[in-house]
């Protein structure tokens, strides 16, 4: 365990930065804009937040972290992302306190967008915490139970569980009762967003996730199993 904790890795810092950047941008910028995705082939479309296009990447990174480096390293990265998102929101709250130049003309728009973003970010932080740790925990436990086999099934099942927890929490804490978001729209978001995330994971696995995990495992000479890891998410 000590050797693992002090081992030097080539990609872990870069992965941590990418995880945090995707998380912050997806929450602060992507959570307040509702977009429409149309699928001409099926003559069907659905509405979602713009952040939905980025958010599955954080789960892909979470899968990658736990599968390669283990639950302990993944836990530290999740807390890093959580801390970065919290700090970003506190900075925005500080910006609210600064008097706007009367000649600017966009003060009200700024507050309208980012006050809604703050609520969504707070909801997203709770959802993110619960969903990511659910995902990481299941990846670690299934890896041990399957002796490293059935990687695709393990990662997809963990995402199914983690994304369900995340999607339900963020939509109801972030949107329920908010102006412009009736209950029927929230339920549509719940179904379409969840299906999109799961479909993204299934499609991405053979194209992105599997080759990336294989490459990094070989480059890092690491394939960690959490036999003795304390799985408490608060034990950093």
* 228 domain residue, yes or no: no
**79: buried, middle or exposed (CB in 10 Å: 19+, 13-18, 0-12)?**
middle
Is the pLDDT confidence value at 3 over 60? no
Q: What percent of the chain has pLDDT over 90?
A: 42
* 186 domain residue, yes or no: yes
* 143 domain residue, yes or no: yes
Mean pLDDT of 152-174: 88
Report the pLDDT value the prediction gives residue 76, as an integer from 0 to 100: 94
Report the pLDDT value the prediction gives residue 46, as an integer from 0 to 100: 67
Domain total of the chain: 1
* 214 domain residue, yes or no: yes
Tell me what the pLDDT averaged over the chain comes to: 84
The larger pLDDT score, comparing residue 85 to residue 111, is at 85
Q: Could you tell me the CATH number of the domain that includes residue 8?
A: 1.10.1760
| pLDDT, tens only, 45-89 | 766 677 777 778 888 999 999 999 999 999 999 999 889 988 988
Is the pLDDT confidence value at 1 over 50? no
Across 28-42, 62-76, 123-137, 207-221, least confident range: 28-42
What contacts 19, CB < 8 A, 6 or more positions away? 58, 61, 62, 65, 77, 80, 81
pTM above 0.85, yes or no: no
* 231 domain residue, yes or no: no
Whole-angstrom Cα distance, residue 151 to residue 143? 8
Mean pLDDT of 137-144: 96
153 band by pLDDT with thresholds 50, 70 and 90: very high
The larger pLDDT score, comparing residue 207 to residue 50, is at 207
The larger pLDDT score, comparing residue 166 to residue 36, is at 166
What range defines the domain where residue 148 resides?
A: 2-220
The count of residues in the chain is 236
Mean pLDDT of 192-220: 91
* 174 domain residue, yes or no: yes
What contacts 96, CB < 8 A, 6 or more positions away? 111, 114, 115
Report the pLDDT value the prediction gives residue 7, as an integer from 0 to 100: 79
* 130 domain residue, yes or no: yes
* 178 domain residue, yes or no: yes
Mean pLDDT of 111-137: 81
Report the pLDDT value the prediction gives residue 91, as an integer from 0 to 100: 87
Using alpha carbons, select from 210, 233, 101, 93 the residue that is nearest to residue 162. 233
Report the pLDDT value the prediction gives residue 32, as an integer from 0 to 100: 64
Mean pLDDT of 195-214: 91
Is the pLDDT confidence value at 179 over 70? no
Mean pLDDT of 26-45: 71
């Amino acid at each position: 365990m000590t050797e693992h904790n002090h081992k030097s890795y080539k990609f872990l810092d870069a992965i941590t930065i990418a995880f945090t950047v995707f998380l912050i941008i997806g929450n602060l910028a992507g959570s307040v804009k509702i977009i429409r995705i149309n699928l001409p082939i099926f003559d069907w479309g659905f509405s979602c937040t713009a952040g939905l296009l980025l958010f599955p990447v954080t789960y892909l990174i979470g899968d990658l972290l736990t599968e390669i480096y283990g639950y302990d390293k993944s836990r530290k990265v999740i807390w890093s992302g959580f801390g970065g998102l919290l700090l970003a929101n506190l900075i925005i709250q500080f910006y609210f306190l600064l008097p706007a130049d009367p000649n600017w003309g966009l003060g009200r728009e700024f507050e309208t967008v980012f006050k809604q973003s703050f609520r969504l970010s707070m909801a997203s932080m709770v959802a993110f915490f619960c969903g990511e740790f659910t995902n990481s925990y299941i990846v670690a436990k299934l890896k041990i139970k399957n002796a490293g086999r059935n990687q695709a099934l393990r990662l997809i099942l963990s995402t199914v569980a983690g994304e369900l927890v995340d999607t339900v929490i963020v939509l109801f804490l972030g949107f329920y009762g908010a102006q412009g978001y009736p209950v029927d729209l929230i339920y549509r978001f719940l179904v379409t967003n969840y299906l999109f995330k799961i479909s993204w994971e299934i499609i991405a696995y053979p194209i992105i996730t599997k080759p990336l995990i294989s490459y990094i495992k070989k480059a890092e000479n690491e394939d960690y199993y959490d036999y003795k890891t304390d799985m408490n998410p608060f034990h950093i």
